Amino acid sequence: MLTVFFKFIFPHYGRILFVFLLISCKVTALQSVSNSEFDNFVKKAEILINSDPKAALQLLNSYQGDVKSQPITSQVNFYRIQSEAYSDQSLYRFSKASAEIGLELTKQMNSPSILIAELAYTKGFAMESLGDLDGAFELYQNGLDVARSMENQEFIARGLINIGATYYLKKNYKQSLIVLNQALQIANSINDEALMGDITSELGILYGYIGEEDQANQFFQRSYQHFKKAGKDNYALNSLHNVAINHANEKRYDQAIEVFRVLESEIQPNTSNEFISGVYRSLAWALLNKEEADTENAYRYILLAGEYVKEVEQHLVQLQYLIDKAYILEKMKRYEEALVNLEQVEQLLQYKAEDIYDTSEVNILYLKSKLYYELGRYQAAYQVQKQYFAKAISYRESRDTSEIDELRLQYESEATARQKDILKKKQNLQNFQLQEVTQEADNRKMLAGFLAICILILAWFLHRIIKGQKSLVKASQTDSLTGVINRRRLLEVGEQYFDEAKLLEHPLSICMIDVDFFKKINDQYGHKIGDSTLQEIAMYGQAQMRESDVFGRIGGEEFIALLPNTANIEAVEVAQRIRESIERARWQTSEIATLTVSIGVSTLNQQSSCDFADLLKAADKQLLQAKCAGRNQVV
């Protein structure tokens, strides 16, 4: 029987095998998705993110099994959109993982793609949200380099926005302002509503950090309008949330509650847990602190927030929730429960990034001492209160108030310029009205009274203009092109540092920096490119400074770094870092492949009788030696 079977099979083996393979191919074709179909659903998911990121994620994940059968570009695009959708849902670990897969796949692509920059930005934001600011900054810079190499203005601006946000999180407000303004210029030139929404939102947060609440509110309102026009409703709600928080920060609790009620009504099944918990937590705080505190509803809303905080990955969100809940429990005189909350907070504090400024520890110590006192544990309250005062003083000293004052002056000068135009128009209008009244008035006393009022109004206008001019004089300490301090301010600070160094017998070093062959850049590419290059050099130089250091432009293509408490060896190391960072930099202007600087370093000799001008001359002399020795070096 078996022999008969083989006699039948072997003569027809070829045809049977062909039929089997045909069926197998057909089944495989039915199981996989065509490239065009795959790209269409990915595009649909990208559009869906703006209105329903949760639905976009479900759609993407339903096609997860078909990704590997697609071309590399389609795979990379899939993971880019998936990472963005996870981020919009505040699922940052998943967002980071998807971006990492996408970035790994880009290594197989035949040519550079802007997808690399997008994935770098998305992964960077996930890392920033998880507390890794240094890792995020590096990724943002890498993405920006790719966008610049491809001359993609939108993603150059997005890279600058991300870097600007990282700067203000690290309390470098001046550099944040410079970078965000560069992004704003690009966004204005390409008229991108979504991009303008992102920039105005970040500027609002920056202004809030430096205490300019009214200006911050204006930026948040503008951000809301831009996102609405762009169809990005979820982002628009975030801007509205910022408006409400701004009201609460200014103790306008009733106004804040009104906006929070609007936000509460906008919550949808697809709204992220982070956003919902933030709305409920902030609403609870406003209800607790308004003139007639509504403690019962405050507690109800903080419990609602707690249901959503469980799923939020950002530990700072969980931290703030527990602190707010402890304050509400304290108001309700539930002191033991409040202490339990604070114990959970202290466990979370160990995961806080060191370079993120917040007052969590101060708030905890203040409330803890109060709770111990209410419970009659006076010795414990005394010990905690001592820690509170020490920590509060430390935080106060850590804030760079002089830098904030400089920024405020800069903002005031811009506001004054706008105000002067408005006053001029109003003054012209008043003059026109005065002429009409003069022609029609029969009663000389009424006319005289009206003239007196006009004179008072004009005197008030003049007072405002003079006040604005004083602010402009103060703002003149900043170099208008690069945003760093100018020659006049450099010399003032330098004299001050020199006198302190002589008095306290501390070291003081100066780095004199000159751009090599800068005239050639102006001659070959024009002054606009030259100005842009100087702005970027200022950014790279400023990035190497400590909080106590001062970096400024002394004129033309020359910059100076003042390094207090810095010996000569350390100053040379700083100078080398500046030189190397500029030499390795990727320049926004594609025509400029590389650029170098020469640096001269001088250090105060306590035994000599020199003054600050002599120290400057010594640095200039060393700079000349560096140039004579072939440039691109430190002497």
Helix (H) or strand (E) holding 511: strand 508-515
State the DSSP code for 32.
Answer: S
* Gap between the Cα atoms of 373 and 384, Å rounded: 10
Dig out the tokens for 94 from the structure: 């998943």
Place of tokens 């703006």: 50
CATH (one of 1.10.3470, 2.40.400, 1.25.40, 1.10.230) for 35-120 = 1.25.40
Exposure string (b/e) for 455-489, b if CB count within 10 Å is 16 or more? eeebeebeeebeebeebbeebebbbeebbbbbeeb
Give me the pLDDT at residue 352, please.
58
Least Cα distance to 162 among 186, 146, 144, 184 occurs for 144
Q: How far apart are CA 633 and CA 635, in angstroms?
A: 7
Output the six-digit token pair for 199: 């920039």
Backbone angles phi, psi at 513, to 5 degrees: -115, 130
Pairwise CA distance, residues 128 & 207, whole Å: 20
Are the beta carbons of 596 and 542 closer than 8 angstroms? Answer: no
User: What per-residue string of b and e applies to 13-35 under the rule 16 or more CB within 10 Å gives b?
Assistant: eeeeeeeeeeeeeeeeeeeebee
Report the DSSP beta bridge partners of residue 564.
508
3-state DSSP call for residue 555? strand
The pLDDT of residue 600 is: 96
Q: How far is CA 470 from the centre of its chain?
A: 30
Q: Which residues contact 100 (CB under 8 A, 6 or more apart)?
A: 123
Fold classified for 193-399: 1.25.40
Helices first, then strands: H and E counts in the chain: 27, 4
Q: Which residue matches tokens 């993407």?
A: 60
Spans in the chain with pLDDT lower than 50 = 1-31, 355-357, 400-405, 408-409, 411-419, 422
Which H or E run contains 568?
helix 568-584
The count of other CB atoms within 10 Å of the CB of residue 589 is 17
Contact 257/290 with Cβ under 8 angstroms?
A: yes
Beta bridge partners of residue 152, listed in sequence order: none
Coil, strand or helix: which one is 559? strand
Length of the chain counted residue by residue: 635
Cα separation, 345 vs 350, whole angstroms = 9
The two beta strands, 508-515 and 597-603, are: antiparallel
Output the six-digit token pair for 289.
């602190």
Q: pLDDT tens, 578-603?
A: 999 888 887 766 667 788 999 999 99
Collect all residues with Cβ–Cβ distance below 8 Å to 318 and sequence separation of at least 6: 309, 312, 348
**Quick one: which of 237, 235, 242 has its CA closest to 218?**
242
The CATH homologous superfamily for domain 487-628 is: Reverse transcriptase/Diguanylate cyclase domain (3.30.70.270)
Q: Cα torsion at 265, 89, 234, 345 (round to 10°)?
A: 60
β-sheet with 558-564: strand ranges across? 550-555, 558-564, 508-515, 597-603
pTM: 0.50
CA Rg value for the chain: 31
* Predicted local confidence at residue 442, as pLDDT: 58
Cβ contact 483:557 at 8 Å: no
